[in-house]
């Protein structure tokens, strides 16, 4: 197959820009952030149970920015060298999902630590998590086969139909879970609400994996193991 090199897209530039911002926040926190201890871990009750200084928090945020740069840049490179337009487009959706999810997680982590929050049992964390899930789910069903994003079970890689259907199911479930989290955040008791959202995501992951196996088994064009 001919290697077709495409020019950089707006997603490539967005990935560079957003990564640079998160990396900059990490460096600022590391060298000039708050001098007091900041929360870095929360227990099952949603209460902060581990604290760290600005060096640790800054390194964590910097690491998230570096990971975003590597994953987004790598997916963009694969898209630019894809053999056909459809494959390139599906990889661009994977790049978009990486940008949305990693940016959301990075800002979520930074805001919790820098705000000194002692609990995630409030409206904003659940609403923020819901928004991230909605944005991720909205595009997950359009992602093509890749080693980073989506329902990456052995069966999904052995059947194009299994990949498409399992990722479409995962995208719909994540969108609905995110919508529930966003809409119910002001009314559901915390931390029950955010725990319920996390459990629902785990259930969605299991259902999507089972769907990939089910479709692979019924697909006459599947590849054998």
Cα 188–193–195 angle (5° rounding)? Answer: 165
Tell me the pLDDT of the chain averaged across its residues: 93
| DSSP state string for 77-106 | HHHHT-SSHHHHHHHHHHHHHHHHHHHHHH
3 state SS of 1: coil
> pTM of the prediction?
0.92
What's the confidence (pLDDT) of residue 37?
95
Task: Please indicate whether residue 4 or residue 41 has the higher confidence score (pLDDT).
Answer: 41
Give 108's DSSP letter.
H
Q: For the chain, what is the radius of gyration of the CA atoms? A: 19
Angle between helices 10-32 and 54-80 (to 10 degrees): 170
Cα 213–219–222 angle (5° rounding)? Answer: 85
Spell out the domain ranges in the chain: 1-119, 121-225
pLDDT bracket for residue 73 (50, 70, 90): very high
**For residue 43, pLDDT beyond 60:** yes
* Backbone φ, ψ for residue 189 (5° rounding): -60, 140
**For residue 74, pLDDT beyond 80:** yes
**For residue 168, pLDDT beyond 90:** yes
What's the confidence (pLDDT) of residue 123?
87
What's the confidence (pLDDT) of residue 38?
95
What's the confidence (pLDDT) of residue 122?
81
* Contact between 46 and 191 (Cβ < 8 Å): yes
* Backbone φ, ψ for residue 116 (5° rounding): 70, 25
pLDDT bracket for residue 4 (50, 70, 90): low
* Lowest mean pLDDT across 16-30, 92-106, 147-161, 180-194: 180-194
* Whole-number Å distance between alpha carbons of 179 and 148: 24
* Contact between 94 and 72 (Cβ < 8 Å): no
What's the confidence (pLDDT) of residue 1?
43
* Backbone φ, ψ for residue 39 (5° rounding): -70, 140
Q: 41 forms bridges with which residues in the sheet? A: 50
Mean pLDDT of 200-216: 98
Using alpha carbons, list the distances in angstroms from residue 128 to 4, 24, 59, 135, 164.
39, 22, 23, 11, 28
- The H or E element spanning position 52 is strand 48-52
pLDDT in tens, 9-28: 899 999 999 999 999 999 99
3 state SS of 13: helix
pLDDT in tens, 105-164: 999 999 999 998 888 878 888 999 999 999 999 999 999 999 999 999 999 999 999 999
């Amino acid at each position: 197959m001919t290697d077709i090199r495409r020019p950089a897209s707006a997603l490539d530039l967005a990935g560079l820009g957003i990564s640079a911002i998160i990396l900059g926040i990490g460096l600022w926190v590391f060298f000039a952030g708050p001098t007091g201890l900041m929360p870095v871990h929360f227990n099952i009750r949603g209460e902060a149970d581990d604290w760290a200084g600005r060096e640790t928090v800054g390194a964590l945020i910097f690491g998230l920015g570096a990971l975003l740069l590597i994953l987004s840049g790598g997916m963009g490179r694969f898209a630019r060298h894809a053999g056909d337009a459809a494959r390139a487009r599906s990889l661009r959706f994977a790049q978009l999902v990486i940008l949305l999810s990693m940016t959301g997680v990075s800002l979520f982590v930074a805001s919790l630590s820098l705000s000194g929050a002692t609990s995630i049992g409030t409206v904003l964390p659940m609403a923020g998590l819901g928004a991230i899930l909605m944005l991720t789910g909205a595009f997950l069903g359009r992602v093509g086969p890749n080693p980073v994003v989506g329902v990456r079970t052995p069966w999904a890689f052995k059947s194009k139909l299994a990949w498409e259907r399992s990722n479409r199911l995962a995208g719909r479930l994540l969108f609905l879970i995110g919508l529930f989290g966003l809409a119910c955040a002001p009314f559901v008791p915390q931390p029950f609400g955010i725990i319920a959202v996390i459990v629902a995501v785990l259930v969605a992951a299991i259902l999507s994996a089972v769907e990939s196996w089910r479709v692979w088994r019924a697909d006459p064009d599947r590849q054998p193991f």
